[in-house]
Amino acid sequence: MQFRSLGWRVVSVALVAVLIAAGCGKKEGAAFTGAAGDVVVSVNGKTLTQAEVDKQVQIQMAAMRGRVPEDQLEESRKRLAFAAADQFVIKTLLLEEVERKGITAPQDEIDAAIEKIKSNLPEGESLETLVARNPRGEAGLIEDITDGMRINKLLEQELEDRLVVTDDEITAFMTENTDRLKRPERVQARHILIKTDASDDEAAKAAKKKELEDIRQQIVDGADFAKLAGEHSGCPSKQKGGDLGFFTRGRMAKPFEDAAFSQEVDAVGPVIETQFGYHIVQVTAKEAEGTATQDEVRDMLKRRKQDTVVREYIQSLREGADIIVKGKSLPEA
């Protein structure tokens, strides 16, 4: 089976607790701040500097702009700094094993992976935008993809036999979790938001509504929704062509929810107003309520096992490594 990511980042997200439990993420410890050249983490002699941590935090904070309340920004920076250190440790340990075992990714496999990534990008995204967000440019993106492929091969080689899910396990889980397997109605939608402000008078609000009505008409006449979302929307989803993914009832502002769950798929709805401003909504998919299938349960149980066995594998690598965080060896005595 394929592990859930072509890159090491998704693997690391599931494993942050491994290092936090060892002391790397303790809030009472020294914060990850200091001079640019300071070594934040060392793994078997390989180092991560404060400048590198700060760069990763800066990129992540930019991607989160507008979605984090002002009073939570500092806490978000701290968490992102700890996450950067965790990811560095995990990636370093995995790549050392990759090198030790001589695992490679041939160029034809890399090319195929890049084509697959391009074909699965949401509207409004391109390989160029991914390159632009990588601090090391195109070479860095290719290296991340290559590293991810090699890590996947390592994990498959080392752990695949521990990920088998039997029919008996599926039957037992479905019997014991009937209520949890119920799936509510949900929709996938994209939108364009023209923000309003508390200081806007009626004339300003009317002008913003008219602006969005004009954008809606362009889309009805054949213009590309994702392109216009990228150019005009005030929501961070503009980076994905306005796509908000799937959501259930109770997750969105009530006028937005009412529009999304009442519209036909692909129809571009009229301008609506929420506390954020004016929106146009296009529903791209709908799923009726139902119950998870055996195949879905099998996949879910595999993911659970994957999280567990990969975490245990990383823990075993960590225990044999020389890890120093801000001058202190881990695990702590």
117-121: long-range contacts (C-beta < 8 A, 24 or more apart)?
A: 117/6, 117/145
Domain 8-164+293-330 matches domain 185-288 at the CATH topology level: no
**Span 59-70, mean pLDDT?**
76
**In which band, very low, low, confident or very high, does the pLDDT at 243 lie, cut at 50, 70 and 90?**
very high
Is the Cα torsion angle 265, 268, 270, 272 positive or negative in sign? Answer: positive
Comparing CA positions, the residue from 141, 16, 90, 27 lying closest to residue 316 is: 90
Residue 140: pLDDT band with limits 50, 70, 90: confident
According to DSSP, residue 242 is labeled: T
Burial of 166 (0-12, 13-18, 19+ CB in 10 A): exposed
How much is the pLDDT for 190?
Answer: 97
Rounded Cα–Cα distance for residues 283 and 226 (Å): 13
Residue of 2 and 330 predicted with greater confidence: 330
Q: Is the pLDDT of residue 187 over 60?
A: yes
Each residue of 164-183: pLDDT tens digit? Answer: 999 999 999 999 999 889 98
Per-position b or e across 179-203, b if 16+ CB within 10 A of its CB: eebeeeebbbbbbbbbebeeeeeee
Is pLDDT of 19 > 50? no
For the chain, what percent of residues have pLDDT higher than 70?
A: 88
pLDDT digits (tens, 9 = 90+) for 261-275: 999 999 999 999 999
Q: Which residue has the higher pLDDT, 5 or 126?
A: 126
- How distant, in Å, are the alpha carbons of 43, 72, 193 from that of 258? 52, 30, 16
pLDDT of res. 123: 62
Other residues' Cβ atoms within 10 Å of the Cβ of residue 259? 23
SS (H, E, C) the chain: CCCCCCCHHHHHHCCHHHHHHHCCCCCCCCCCCCCCCCEEEEECCEEEEHHHHHHHHHHHHHHCCCCCCHHHHHHHHHHHHHHHHHHHHHHHHHHHHHHHCCCCCCHHHHHHHHHHHHHHCCCCCCHHHHHHHCCCHHHHHHHHHHHHHHHHHHHHHHHHHHCCCCHHHHHHHHHHCCHHHEECCEEEEEEEEEECCCCCCHHHHHHHHHHHHHHHHHHHCCCCHHHHHHHHCCCHHHHHCCEEEEEECCCCCHHHHHHHHHCCCCCECCCEEECCEEEEEEEEEEECCEECCHHHHHHHHHHHHHHHHHHHHHHHHHHCCCEEECCEEECCC
Quickly state the pLDDT bin for 58 (edges 50, 70, 90): confident
**What pLDDT shows up at residue 268?**
96
Q: Which two tokens stand for residue 10?
A: 């998704």
DSSP result, 57-71: HHHHHHHTTTTS-GG
pTM: 0.62
Residue-level pLDDT at 122: 67
- 24 confidence band (pLDDT: 50, 70, 90): very low
Res. 135: pLDDT tops 90: no
Please choose, from the candidates 288, 263, 286, 259, the residue with its C-alpha nearest in 3D space to the C-alpha of residue 272: 259
pLDDT band at residue 93 using 50, 70 and 90 as cut-offs: very high
Percent of the chain topping pLDDT 90: 58
pLDDT given for residue 160 in this prediction: 87
The domain segmentation of the chain, as residue ranges, is 8-164+293-330, 185-288
| Total residues found in the chain within this entry | 333
Q: Which residues pair with 278 in a beta bridge?
A: 194, 273
pLDDT in tens, 312-331: 999 999 998 999 988 777 65
Rounded CA-CA distance 210/194 in Å is 10
Mean pLDDT in residue range 291-312: 92
Domain 185-288 fold is Chitinase A; domain 3 (3.10.50)
**Residue with tokens 């695990």, as numbered in its chain:** 331
Contact 304, 163 (CB under 8 A): no
Q: CA–CA separation, 262 vs 286, rounded Å?
A: 10
pLDDT at 32 > cutoff 60: yes
| pLDDT reported for residue 30 | 44
Q: What is the mean pLDDT of the chain?
A: 85
The CATH class given to the 8-164+293-330 domain equals mainly alpha
**5 pLDDT higher than 50:** no
Query: In angstroms, how far is the first alpha carbon of the chain from the final one?
Result: 38
